[in-house]
Amino acid sequence: MSSSDRRAFLLSVLALGACGFTPAYGPSGGAGVLQSQVRLTDPVGRDGYLLNRRLEERLGRGGPSARYAMKVTPIVTQSGMGSTSRGLTTRFQLLGKAKFLMTDPVTADVLAEGEVQSFTGYSATGTTVATLAAERDARQRLMTILADMVVDRLLVAASGLPS
């Protein structure tokens, strides 16, 4: 690393510190109040399971004494995108939404709520087994994307949550 690159890096770090930037997972970051303190409702279906699994990977598993309760509802729609001259669909797009609601389990006050959305796609060229595997993988990718977006929203709101 050249000395001009080092200087630019150090100046950017100082600028971030001066503007009030605090790492979410740092000692004074807001994410600490969420770690293992969010109890998720039981998932419905495979999409719900995949979404909850990713949320637990990111936030930790909140037990019965967790400070927050959260319900996340995934909604997935599928549409054909490409087709052959014979009318067979060769490409599908999965559009996903995840509605989330975080409450205080004692008072039932709403602490955070919202909706995130994203999409992914998969190819239907090949055998039926390959197409089903591609769809399954695309759904898993979509649930990971949606869960990460929900966590990002919670991290932004974390500093305002009651501890």
Sign of CA pseudo-dihedral 27, 29, 31, 37: positive
Q: Where are the beta strands (DSSP E) in 3-55?
A: 38-40
- CA distances 94 to 73, 112, 119, 126, Å, are 16, 26, 5, 19
Q: What is the 8-class DSSP label of residue 152?
A: H
The rounded distance, in Å, linking the Cα atoms of 21 and 14 is 10
Rounded to an integer, the average pLDDT of 138-162 is 92
Calculate what percentage of the chain has a pLDDT beyond 90: 56
Report the distance separating Cα 151 and Cα 158, nearest Å: 10
3-state secondary structure at position 111? strand
Cβ distance 78 to 93 under 8 Å?
A: yes
Average pLDDT rounded to a whole number, residues 154-162: 84
DSSP 3-state of 163: coil
pLDDT in tens, 84-101: 778 788 899 999 999 999
pTM: 0.82
Q: What is the mean pLDDT of residues 27-42?
A: 82
**β-strand pairing of 38-40 with 68-83:** parallel
CATH topology of domain 30-160: Double Stranded RNA Binding Domain (3.30.160)
Domain ranges of the chain: 30-160
Question: How does the average pLDDT of the chain come out, rounded?
Answer: 86
pLDDT at 143 over 60: yes
* Stretch 68-90: mean pLDDT: 89
Place of tokens 């949550």: 161
**Beta strand pairing call for 110-123 and 68-83:** unpaired
pLDDT of 14 > 70? The answer is no
